[in-house]
Structure 1
């Protein structure tokens, strides 16, 4: 099982797999299926591998997240542990400015408990994480770089979800500091054509991987998400 075999049609977008131990940014506006995409990739991948992963949701409770996934036909693998915001509130009465370190410590502790078979993590989302921090942009970039380098050394494949505040089109190449820190960028968006709106997926970059850079339609089927070639 490869990461690109976890969603129907995704292996048409990629000629080779998403490299393990890389940091992948999944970015897009609200409603573009960022959480569903990331969750399905990890859950389906881990279900077929003798590996484990951690999905951290900072915006929804575990229950709400699972309800949302179930509504899209996305199943949960028992090998993917979900940790929501309330888990951290139980452990820490007050969030410090060093929340990144707290997250890093908990992720490393999770791997210590599971062992070397813990290979994948996802943070949903960076925007929610940033809202809890009171850090200057320059210091934030340094802290993010340090945390992501730790994840690479620990041989995690890391998925970071980032919601854009604006609805960007396919002609908008903008990406914040996260794009420079990530090995790959998967853009999910909405393309408006008259009164019709299509969700699309486009791989902006993926180091050490061969892939299409064209947009592909992303839709919800009765068995989760599906990717196919369309006309834009």
Structure 2
């Protein structure tokens, strides 16, 4: 099973699969199906393999997240473990100490790796913005912390999809920092475009190291079978 076969039509964008151990940002404004796409990557891939993965949700509870996924026809694989940090976030925000949530998450990921060993191959983090909101850290230190979160994942060959919410201001997508793109191996950008009073979701692969892919925007839809992608002939 390849990651590019997990979502119908995604293999029309990629000529070869996403390399193992890559750190992939899934970016875009609210409502662009970032979480749905990331969940589809992991759950559909694991459903057709003998491997295991973890999906970390930092804002929604597990029950709420699965309800949202189910509403889009997306089912949870028995091999995908949902790690719910929403309760921990509340405790962390009330704490007065200097506990580093990014370090805690990294340590928990490595504990799961020790348990499943080479069978643990993929990870989703939803979202990076939620993580930032808990960290009152200047940019240089934040970049260092993010590097120390990502590098062990690469070293352990864990393919990681990181949801990163951006905000569309006057047609231009603005995000809080540019360092995430430099530290990642790939960027999958999700967007909403409006024409003639009609809005449509799109997906565009802006960066993917060691992979041949189209950079054209493709239409993204949700059907009873989950997420589907197809080429927009107007581009």
TM-score range, shorter chain: over 0.9
Q: How far off is 1:87 after superposition?
A: 5.9
Q: Is the 8 A contact 2:193 2:200 kept in 1?
A: yes
Q: How does 1:46-57 map to 2 (within 5 A)?
A: 46-57=46-57
Flag the 1:202–1:148 CA change in 2: closer, same or farther, 3 A: same
Query: What are structure 1's unaligned runs of at least 5 residues?
Result: none
SS in 1 for 2:157: coil
Q: How far off is 1:150 after superposition?
A: 1.0
SS in 1 for 2:168: coil
CA distance in 2, matches of 1:165, 1:210: 28
CA distance in 2, matches of 1:14, 1:223: 21
SS in 2 for 1:103: helix
Q: How far off is 1:172 after superposition?
A: 5.5
CA distance in 1, matches of 2:173, 2:90: 41
Q: How far off is 1:194 after superposition?
A: 2.0
Q: How does 1:199-218 map to 2 (within 5 A)?
A: 199-218=201-220
Specify which of 99, 117, 137 is matched with residue 139 of structure 2.
137
Flag the 1:226–1:98 CA change in 2: closer, same or farther, 3 A: same
SS in 2 for 1:115: helix
Q: Is the 8 A contact 1:97 1:135 kept in 2?
A: no
Q: Is the 8 A contact 1:199 1:218 kept in 2?
A: yes
Normalising to structure 1: TM-score of the pair?
Answer: 0.93
Deviates more, 1:5-14 or 1:108-117: 108-117
Normalising to structure 2: TM-score of the pair?
Answer: 0.92
1:80 paired to 2:80:
yes
Flag the 1:91–1:190 CA change in 2: closer, same or farther, 3 A: closer
CA distance in 1, matches of 2:167, 2:138: 20
Q: How does 1:91-170 map to 2 (within 5 A)?
A: 94=95, 96-166=98-168, 169=171
Deviates more, 1:28-37 or 1:147-156: 147-156
SS in 2 for 1:178: helix
Q: Is the 8 A contact 1:97 1:133 kept in 2?
A: no
Q: How far off is 1:167 after superposition?
A: 5.1
Q: How far off is 1:118 after superposition?
A: 0.3
Paired residues in the alignment total 231
Q: How far off is 1:123 after superposition?
A: 0.6
Q: Is the 8 A contact 1:167 1:190 kept in 2?
A: no
Aligned to 1:227: 229
Q: Is the 8 A contact 2:167 2:174 kept in 1?
A: no
Please list the CA deviations of residues 18-67 of structure 1 after superposition, one character each: whole Å capped at 9, or x if unmatched.
11100000000000000000000110001111100000000100000000
Provide the alpha-carbon RMSD of the alignment.
Answer: 2.0
Q: Is the 8 A contact 1:29 1:166 kept in 2?
A: yes
Query: What are structure 2's unaligned runs of at least 5 residues?
Result: none
Aligned to 1:35: 35
